[in-house]
Structure 1
Amino acid sequence: MSRNAPSTTRRTLHYYWQVTRKHLGLFAALMASTFLFVALLSYGNPYVMSLVVDRVSEGSITSDQVFSTYGPYIVALIAINLVGQAASKLQDYTMYKLEIAAAYDLATMSFDALCNQSMSFHSNRFGGTLVSQTSKFMSAYQQLLETITFPFLPVVCSVIFTCAILAPRVPLYVVILMVLLAIYACVSYYMYKRILSLNEKAASAQNQLSGELSDSVANILAVKTSGREDYERALFDQANRNVVERDSKRMWASLTRGIITAAITVVIMSVVAVFIAGGNAWFGITPGTLVMMFTYTYTATNQFNFINNGLQRFNRAFGDASGMTATLDEPRLVADKPGAPAMVVREGTIDFQNIGFYYTDGNVKTPVFDDFNLHIPAGQRVGLVGLSGAGKTTLTKLLLRLSDIQDGRILIDGQNVADCTQQSLRRSIAYVPQEALLFHRTIAENISYGRPDATMEQIREAARQANALEFIENLPQGFETITGERGVKLSGGQRQRVAIARALLADCPVLVLDEATSALDSESEALVQDALKTLMRGRTCIVVAHRLSTVASLDRIVVLDHGKVVEDGPHAELIKVGGEYAHLWDRQTGAYLE
């Protein structure tokens, strides 16, 4: 068994109990109704019938004595079935209500955990796998709840009522029966623990399969244009075969457990057969008690038989839930301090003071910044340039606190970004990346994403300033056009202008542009550049660019090399200096070749 399996199971139960505790009344009603339902219908009916059999064995009665003799038994049976059926319906109601309420809470818990994790966390995981884990985490709770309700609670009832009713009449039989049932339960639990790790491995394989499928489908254009369908199919087939292999191991382990517990069941029924056959002759047991012995033993054995299936469902549920449990247990690499205040940005002065930062991949540290300093006055437009790996994009992510620095401070208007809430920080910064981040929603919803209370007129004005109004109005459904997943229904230039319109409407004091025009054609770039000029007006701007024409007109250009500032100044001055920036400029404009 996996060493981590018990702790994973305990952690899963911890999260499920957190949700169940919020609806403790429903849970208690479910348990009580199940107990009453089983007690009355499975044990109350046979008990009354045993009394009837004993009365019949005492001798025959006349027809006019039927109701006077058996009337109380008839009334008892009707009452037992009436209350038992009512308890059954209450069980159904409380089960549905609890499952619905818990599903909402578990979905919220999972969503919050995923949304509040760092970008490093998401960069190392398949999005499809996380979605699959969330779905399985929710369904596993339902499976566990149903398994507890049936068969495990009926098993407890069978032991309690069998002992309570039969022990005073046939104590030896009850002792033997309880010993055999205890052996059955111990064997089932021991094998359950052995199979638990197999279920977690099977669930992990299923999650990997979902991740491979999601990755291939999400990048289907790259697959097709590269002619790599066979390669992706081979990856998927390998993951699929891994699922089959692990499911097969789980199947054989479950079958082995079933065979062993079935053998114990045969022994139990053999014992009851002997007692029923000779019970009256050897011990003077009445016919009614013999009927109860058989009925209760048969019921208890059936309930214990379901333990095998119940433990298998437990195994599968805990295995399915293990992925999201690990995710919920994952420490937040970027977290708000308790009671952190909201950031209020009025001017937009930015200071990077003595920044030290490194990425960690496994146990390997990759340093990016060491004692890095940069001051950006309010309202200044600053370009960040340099070769790939110089730290340009990393610097913007640290400003947005998508990762936390190890040393130093980042200040906006004198406020440490690490001391304020992440949401208030990011609502003060408009971010436009190289690939526009659009939702599978209407264009209007995408533009107003950072300001959901915006009116339609404000949305239209933002689109106009972003040079997006014309193409939007030419679409069949205008602003109500669904953009498709990640905006696939729009061209690159159209997506970027929608993203700029969103930033305009958000009206943040700080603006970060990360390669916002590098993937565009010349015509789209001209429209986007014009929109960006409008967007940058009156804001503190950080513009990351490889294409130097994007930053040439800015107030200031900072050249980075391996996490260090090697040049800093306006375009004209840096050209005169003839350093790294001039070298890059010459290469892009062709002067270097000439």
Structure 2
Amino acid sequence: MALGGTKGRNDRSTMRRTLHYFWQVTRQKMGAFVLSIVSSVGYIALLTFANTYVMGLIVDRVQASPVPAGQVFTVFGPYILALLVVNAVGQTLSKLQDYSVYKLEINGSYQLSRLCFDTLSNQSMTFHNSRFGGSLVSQTSRFVSGYSGLVDVVTYSLWPTIASVVLTIGMLLPVAPSFVAVLCAMLVLYVALAYRMYKRILPLSAQASTAQNKLSGVLSDAVTNILAVKTYGREDYERGLFTSADRDAMAAENRNMRATMRRGFTTSALITVIMFVVSIFVAGGNAWFGISAGTLVMMFTYTYNLTMRFNYFNSMMQRINRAFGDAAEMTRVLDEPTLVADAPDARPLQVREGAIDFEHLGFHYPDAPADEDVFRDLNLHIPAGQRVGLVGRSGSGKTTLTKLLLRLDDVQEGRVLVDGQDVSKCTQQSLRRQVAYVPQEALLFHRTIRENIAYGRPDATEEQIVRAAEEANALEFIRRLPQGFDTMVGERGVKLSGGQRQRVAIARAILVDAPILVLDEATSALDSESEALVQGALENLMRGRTSIVVAHRLSTVASLDRIVVLSHGRIVEDGTHAQLVAQGGEYAGLWNRQTGGFLEGDAE
């Protein structure tokens, strides 16, 4: 019971937070929002109630006494003119209703999409590493569509329904108070019953949306890694995972559908009872209460329209359920704390020389056991302009150290300083714009080679882009491509070979010309010939810059100013290549065991 109560409170809290986000973007178009209310109420008031009222007057006039053929337009002319005006204005309001919906949805889609993008792009790598990218895309799409769906149902169903209730009571109360009393009692019963069932169905809608997002994540994971799927012949296995997720999604949708249908049958039965009561009043209204024929037409038409509105109440609540269910997961993502966030008073990082200090560093990953620290009281000083190699076995913390420098994760203890400035007190963008980062796996967009090289410096000239490609030993293969620099590289650069992708990434780093350089296995994907050529470019690139080179090919770091050996998150050796080999310690052992320039099993 306690668990169910907690879950119910969580669902209600999520719904309130979703309404908060939706209302924030709606407030930006308050004019359109007010117009949606006015046009919806006016549309119903005129085309349903005013039309029927005028027709009731016509029926009463016809019943009062015969009208000669020559007097038709004289007697009924005002009624005809009234109907013309009512319908013309009503149709205009209908179009204004559509216009207000377009304005709200266009603005909402833009603002909410940007909100989701900003939130996701500012989240830490720990956040992204534990989630499917495809699922986040699906959640964003559903969040935006949830807003559009809610705007539709509120404008086209909720406001007209509320207006119908108020106008029906207001128009019929003076002529049939007893009927209105019975009608109100039945409508209150209907709403109470429908709302109670709605609360039960809301979690089912959220479950259905969650299952659909999981299905999107499974599909995205398989498509993203399609090469692995095919080369290992695991199509059947991935199909099994997809089928299982698909079944779960279908089962969740079926549970939601069955609950919705049960609610529909219950509410439809109550609508039938209401119409039965209406038929009795219409049949006996004149005999029992002296109600005129025109008024009886009004009673029937108003009540019939109202019951049809409430008959669609089932569909309206289902669509509201769907909107909140679709938005639920992204709402929870938006409410998650940002693990790596800029301080309120964060200032841009000013790099004058490029000295780096790791002071009393303590760090463990949030999803790791509390006693499994990556670093504990680690200290490392890198003078400005020094070229430092980080080596060690897998899991020693080499790549993690560079991520902490880039502030892709935040330390739990100690500080990371650049020129004496604590990076946690600087803006993240200013920090990363001062560091050229080349990872082991080249990070390329499905854009042209030119765009990929110029990504860190979009204002670069064509000459600068070409020179960077040449220094990275990429110009020759680029010019051999049919579209040259305009070649689209495919998702994650799949149209290029591993060595080609890496050289494009190195060209990007060369073009950025940042004072600090981080190379994380930057040459590991290159063949021996390309590596030799690129090494020369990297030597030039590192000259005068503070450089951190993570490598398992020790030949890559042998010529650097200094080599730091990490083991289990601690610095165990520190010196030049010659000094460390002469010491005969861990580095010397690694050097001696290498065959063909590779350290067996060492990849982070």
Measured against the shorter chain, the TM-score band is over 0.9
Map of 1:55 onto structure 2: 61
Map of 2:421 onto structure 1: 415
Check conservation: 2:468, 2:511, Cα contact below 8 A: yes
Aligned CA distance change for structure 1 residues 91 and 363 (closer, same or farther; 3 Å): farther
Map of 2:192 onto structure 1: 186
**CA displacement at 1:17 relative to structure 2:** 0.7
Q: Give unmatched runs, 5+ long, in structure 2.
A: 600-604
What secondary structure, in the 3-state scheme, does the structure 1 residue paired with 2:203 have? helix
Aligned CA distance change for structure 1 residues 313 and 44 (closer, same or farther; 3 Å): same
> In the alignment, which of 149, 152, 169 is matched to residue 155 of structure 2?
149
1:207 aligns with 2:199: no
Superposed, 1:421-460 pairs within 5 Å as 421-460=427-466
Check conservation: 1:586, 1:592, Cα contact below 8 A: no
1:280 aligns with 2:286: yes
Check conservation: 1:450, 1:506, Cα contact below 8 A: yes
Map of 1:115 onto structure 2: 121
**CA displacement at 1:170 relative to structure 2:** 0.3
Aligned CA distance change for structure 1 residues 592 and 35 (closer, same or farther; 3 Å): closer
In structure 2, what residue type is equivalent to 1:545? A
Q: State which drifts further: 568-577 or 357-366.
A: 357-366
Check conservation: 1:340, 1:421, Cα contact below 8 A: yes
> In the alignment, which of 584, 587, 601 is matched to residue 581 of structure 1?
587
Distance 1:236 1:591 in 2: 41
Map of 1:291 onto structure 2: 297
**CA displacement at 1:101 relative to structure 2:** 1.4
**CA displacement at 1:533 relative to structure 2:** 1.7
Map of 1:508 onto structure 2: 514
Superposed, 1:492-507 pairs within 5 Å as 492-507=498-513
**CA displacement at 1:183 relative to structure 2:** 1.1
Distance 2:306 2:153 in 1: 16
Map of 1:36 onto structure 2: 42
Aligned CA distance change for structure 1 residues 280 and 364 (closer, same or farther; 3 Å): farther
Superposed, 1:65-144 pairs within 5 Å as 65-144=71-150
> In the alignment, which of 233, 251, 259 is matched to residue 257 of structure 2?
251
In structure 1, what residue type is equivalent to 2:217? G
Check conservation: 1:117, 1:332, Cα contact below 8 A: yes
Q: State which drifts further: 82-91 or 60-69.
A: 60-69
**CA displacement at 1:34 relative to structure 2:** 1.2
Q: Deviations over 1:327-354 (max 9, x none)?
A: 1011100000113111111210000001
Distance 2:92 2:166 in 1: 22
**CA displacement at 1:359 relative to structure 2:** 0.8
Check conservation: 1:356, 1:408, Cα contact below 8 A: yes
1:519 aligns with 2:525: yes
Check conservation: 1:441, 1:484, Cα contact below 8 A: yes
**CA displacement at 1:502 relative to structure 2:** 0.6
**CA displacement at 1:426 relative to structure 2:** 0.2
Q: Deviations over 1:250-288 (max 9, x none)?
A: 111001000000100010000001000111111111101
**CA displacement at 1:525 relative to structure 2:** 2.3
Check conservation: 2:104, 2:151, Cα contact below 8 A: no
In structure 2, what residue type is equivalent to 1:413? D
Check conservation: 2:147, 2:323, Cα contact below 8 A: yes
In structure 2, what residue type is equivalent to 1:108? R
Q: Deviations over 1:496-533 (max 9, x none)?
A: 11111111111100000111122333233223323322
Aligned CA distance change for structure 1 residues 77 and 174 (closer, same or farther; 3 Å): same
Distance 1:591 1:168 in 2: 96
- TM, length-normalised to structure 1: 0.98
Q: Deviations over 1:397-453 (max 9, x none)?
A: 000000000111111011110001000000000000001101111111111110111
Aligned CA distance change for structure 1 residues 362 and 369 (closer, same or farther; 3 Å): closer
What secondary structure, in the 3-state scheme, does the structure 1 residue paired with 2:530 have? helix
Distance 1:519 1:81 in 2: 72
What secondary structure, in the 3-state scheme, does the structure 2 residue paired with 1:345 have? coil
In structure 1, what residue type is equivalent to 2:222? S
Distance 1:391 1:513 in 2: 15
Aligned CA distance change for structure 1 residues 306 and 592 (closer, same or farther; 3 Å): closer
> In the alignment, which of 381, 396, 402 is matched to residue 390 of structure 1?
396
In structure 2, what residue type is equivalent to 1:537? R
- TM, length-normalised to structure 2: 0.96
Q: Deviations over 1:131-169 (max 9, x none)?
A: 101111111111000000121111101111001110011
Aligned CA distance change for structure 1 residues 94 and 363 (closer, same or farther; 3 Å): farther
Superposed, 1:333-348 pairs within 5 Å as 333-348=339-354
Check conservation: 2:133, 2:220, Cα contact below 8 A: yes
Aligned CA distance change for structure 1 residues 311 and 592 (closer, same or farther; 3 Å): closer
Map of 2:170 onto structure 1: 164
Q: State which drifts further: 121-130 or 173-182.
A: 173-182
Distance 2:381 2:539 in 1: 22
Aligned CA distance change for structure 1 residues 429 and 592 (closer, same or farther; 3 Å): closer
1:374 aligns with 2:369: no
Check conservation: 2:222, 2:238, Cα contact below 8 A: yes
Aligned length: 593
Distance 1:291 1:35 in 2: 22
Q: Deviations over 1:525-552 (max 9, x none)?
A: 2233233222212110001111111100
In structure 1, what residue type is equivalent to 2:546? T
Map of 1:312 onto structure 2: 318
Aligned CA distance change for structure 1 residues 504 and 590 (closer, same or farther; 3 Å): closer
Distance 1:66 1:426 in 2: 83
What secondary structure, in the 3-state scheme, does the structure 2 residue paired with 1:516 have? coil
Map of 2:269 onto structure 1: 263
**CA displacement at 1:82 relative to structure 2:** 0.7
Check conservation: 1:372, 1:564, Cα contact below 8 A: yes
Check conservation: 1:583, 1:592, Cα contact below 8 A: no
What secondary structure, in the 3-state scheme, does the structure 1 residue paired with 2:377 have? strand
> In the alignment, which of 436, 450, 465 is matched to residue 471 of structure 2?
465
Q: Percent of aligned positions with the same letter in both sequences?
A: 63
Distance 1:537 1:476 in 2: 35
**CA displacement at 1:67 relative to structure 2:** 2.3
Distance 1:84 1:185 in 2: 28
Map of 1:331 onto structure 2: 337
Check conservation: 2:198, 2:317, Cα contact below 8 A: yes
Check conservation: 2:345, 2:425, Cα contact below 8 A: no
**CA displacement at 1:365 relative to structure 2:** 5.6
Check conservation: 1:352, 1:375, Cα contact below 8 A: yes
- When the two chains are superposed, the root-mean-square deviation of aligned CA atoms in Å is 1.5
In structure 2, what residue type is equivalent to 1:145? V
Map of 1:349 onto structure 2: 355
Map of 1:539 onto structure 2: 545
Map of 2:225 onto structure 1: 219
Aligned CA distance change for structure 1 residues 272 and 592 (closer, same or farther; 3 Å): closer
1:8 aligns with 2:14: yes
What secondary structure, in the 3-state scheme, does the structure 2 residue paired with 1:92 have? helix
**CA displacement at 1:466 relative to structure 2:** 1.1
